[in-house]
Chain A
Amino acid sequence: MDWTTGIVKGPFSETQGKQLVESLSGLSAGQAQWLSGYFAGISPLLETPLPAERQDETAPSTAPEAKPVYILYGTHTGNSERLAGEAAKRIKAAGRAVKVSDMDSFKIKELSDTDQLLIIVSTDGDGEPPVQAEDFLQYLQSSKARKLDHLSYSILALGDTSYTYFCKTGKDFEEALEKLNASSMVPRIDCDVDFEDDYERWIKEVITALGQLSVSHNGLLIGFPGDKTAPQDGSPRYDRKHPFSATVLQKIKLNGRGSTKETYHLELDLGDSGLRYEPGDALGIYALNSNRLVDGALGLLQASGEELVESYRGPKTLKDALMEDYELTPLTAVSLRRHAEITGNKEIKEILADDGRLKKYLHGRDILDFIAAYPADLSPEIWLSLLRKNTPRMYSIASSQGMVGDEVHVLVSAVRYSAHGRSREGHCSSFLADRIQEGDQVGIFVDPNTRFRLPADPDAPVIMVGPGTGIAPYRAFIQERASRGDEGKSWLFFGERNFTTDFLYQAEWLRHLKEGTLTRASVAFSRDQREKVYVQHKMLEHGKELFDWLENGAHFYVCGDREHMAKDVDKSLSSIIREYGGMSPEKAAAYIKTLQHSGRYQSDVY
């Protein structure tokens, strides 16, 4: 087909068509490709790019492949967004026009004019979609959703195997799209927290499926560092796959004597790594397992540890592989599944078949419990294949480079508990708390979180709710604002157990208050009085002012515990808006939604 036919039949007036044919004649393939990317890029800026009536016409789409590939992302921490951007570049480089949008901004009616849809979506803790994806998923699942026979799609689902409902949102999208008769372009891929390899596999398959397009890497691509084609464009040399060994400059237990908590402040030297981060970003840290756990595992495997094995990182002794390359603390469904596949163990299969039972079984158990409970005569390598790869843990960064330069600070709460007759500890928090000293090195990388950012407007007020280690990013926020001389007001809500011992960074907050870089602070110490008081109570106590702040454009942040705190804070926020805004529950919900969609209600919860 002659390319001009497409334009003539396209949504243009005769004059427009002529002009376009004239203008486009004689373009090189490269120029045409550039324009395609250009239009994809500016399309969100154009008001109603296609006349509405055109969409209802049944004129055959003469060049379906000419329609841009639509990439929609639903992100919580910004990973999906980052991957969507990366995927767009790859597809464009491969010669196809691409549109990228977060699911919130995406207009449903565009679906009817989209032939190829890529979805990159993460799953929140207990199988819930990220806020950004809620509405779109709900629409697809609803009875009013239109059939999508014309649509082919592929889904990259991001998740964490340590949660029961691993990648559930991706699965939910798949299910909804299938019901609407959309066809799968490339099978869905579910990624664990170390998603790079899976993403790479997925995007390659997608590009192949999109057809006639080469998968060649060229200079436009942002490959993952370590690729032969590592970028020269200022992207970090260090990342998840290539962590930087940062020296621990300071390690301080912040809780005073007699505290029931154990929270560490770590200052790491970024040296000449060139690593940069923004307030709101997280720091990924790789932990090594404790001798206690490694020896325990070796004991259960009846191995000396000297056995040479092939880890995914190459050959090494079993002991080193257990220490460095795998995790021994969290037990995930993946381990059970692999075990069942290999051994056919009926009991494990039964557990796997029952979500409730699975969840209960996984709770509080680690890999050692599992190996002990289901011994099997397997080679060390097979055993290793049951284990989760050593996965970095993310800590909200507690510093601003405007203040600390080539350092990065994090706040770590040591996780210790006792379950099933043994004392347990967090994989990384115990590593940092117990096995790392000042002067030691730890493998780190920066994990950007574009969904948790200071307002672009330096004068915008911020309300920061962060009990416990949730206070970390606000230290970064306030450092950033102080170092820039921003004048926006700020209000911190902090909570912990006891005032005397657990007021994290107290001296710094007092200084900021004195210097005006923090406007006010409200604190709740749950165990200083008979009745438990938490941050959400402090919000309610100052509800009127809090609402006034919101009305004056304040951005609202919540960071910390997802399970209880963030929900309670959300409830308080909602009740404050109802009470002081005189709103119905529906209106208050809409108010909150508007805050969320405009980026004025951001959360970093875990």
Chain B
Amino acid sequence: MSLFTRNALIALLITVAIIGTVLYAVNFLNQQRVAELRSIEDQLATDTLSIETQFALLEEAPCEDIAAGTISQEVGGVGDKLAYAEERAGANDPEVLRLKERYTLLQIRDYLLTKRLSETCGVNPVVALYFYSNVPGECEECDRAGYALSYLRQTYPALRVYSFDYHLDLAALRTFISVLKVHDGEFPAFVIQGKPSYGFTSLEDLEKAFPKSLFATSTTKASQ
């Protein structure tokens, strides 16, 4: 075998090994991302239990003893992480889907508790429910709407935003959607202060759907 042939074959093996290593490394990192999400599962379970406990306590304890913020800081960023992992590992990754379902459940529970606090204790946080669709072509404006809501949430900490994948196969979400009477096929959909609205045109228009008190009394992060 000539030197050229021998070196060409060895080079091919090295190239395949390098590409294999890169593929493994990228896959490993994606798996680590999912594992990171999995590690939040315990926190999700704790938060869910905490909310249920607060529900029970609400029957007996005075309002001032109930904490208004229920979702912990660790879980707070899970939405962003889920979105990123979904992009990397794929929307159909079973682990991502499972965590998405749990996170959705937690958000519903948190919303219900917030609503109960509002009714029972007169606490009045501004709440926005946001329904998006990942089905290609079904929601051209969802990226814009999501970005605008992120801006509002960052700028006005008093605003509570809950995001839901409309087509997530979860019985509780289906019931939640039917209770709220959110129509299918019209995305993005919002329920702001209990009132459903559909479509997104601009941040300005979206802001009109919120009570003026949000903008008047909130301490904006931008000004801090």
The answer to whether A and B come from one shared complex is: no
